[in-house]
Amino acid sequence: MAIERSWESVGPIAFTANGGADGTVTLLSAAGFKVKQSVVVSATSLPDLKLEVKKVISPTKLIVGPVVTTGKLLARQDLSAYTLVLNANLRAEEQKKAVLPMADIIQAVYRQEPGTTIGVELDDQFGQPFDLNNPIPVSASPLWDEIDLAYDANQNLETVEYKKNGQTVTLNLEYDANQNLSKVTKS
């Protein structure tokens, strides 16, 4: 589900490791958390901390710090008192997305030398680019229940019939004088 110009609420999600002195939060999954998103860290008998996400490190870790409008953008919050024993958790309420100045957006998509281009790359929900080690998740199901093949007198494949849910699609194959496949038509 998506909400126009807003981030959905997330959690509360329990910590899976004690909070870090450097603002590190370890969760079963950091999915749904965004940089600059306001969050709340809670634990039994400790005050709620209203913070913001500074960095998503991995699919299970992020760093939080104080909400700042200028300066100290890299400030971190000491979370070492927020432990598993105290049922520490992280949540984010539904909120407006961060609005970035156009200059920041251009800087983010401009690829520096030697590439000098406006670039676009596909990333996963944790900001990691898709590549051989992080492939795009896909789900495929057969487009057919059965395939029938028919051959001509020269043992050339002549027709391919794809059958799915009682429907049949036939592909007719034609060959040139050298017996090379030259044309495929659907009937």
**Residue 76 and residue 157 share a domain:** no
Judge whether 80 lies within some domain: yes
CATH number at residue 79: 2.40.30.240
pLDDT digits (tens, 9 = 90+) for 54-88: 999 888 999 999 987 666 778 899 999 999 999 99
Judge whether 130 lies within some domain: no
Whole-prediction pTM value?
0.61
Judge whether 10 lies within some domain: yes
Strands (E), 15-72: 24-26, 38-43, 46-56, 61-66
Judge whether 164 lies within some domain: yes
Judge whether 61 lies within some domain: yes
Strands (E), the chain: 6-7, 10-14, 24-26, 38-43, 46-56, 61-66, 89-92, 95-96, 110-111, 117-118, 146-151, 157-164, 167-175, 181-186
Domain span holding position 160: 146-186
Judge whether 60 lies within some domain: yes
pLDDT digits (tens, 9 = 90+) for 105-163: 888 788 777 767 777 778 887 777 888 888 888 877 677 788 888 888 878 888 888 88
Beta-carbon contacts of residue 43 (< 8 Å; ≥ 6 apart): 81, 82, 83, 86, 87, 88, 89
Look at residues 61, 80, 97 and tell me which one is the last residue of a structural domain.
97
Q: Give the number of domains in the chain.
A: 2
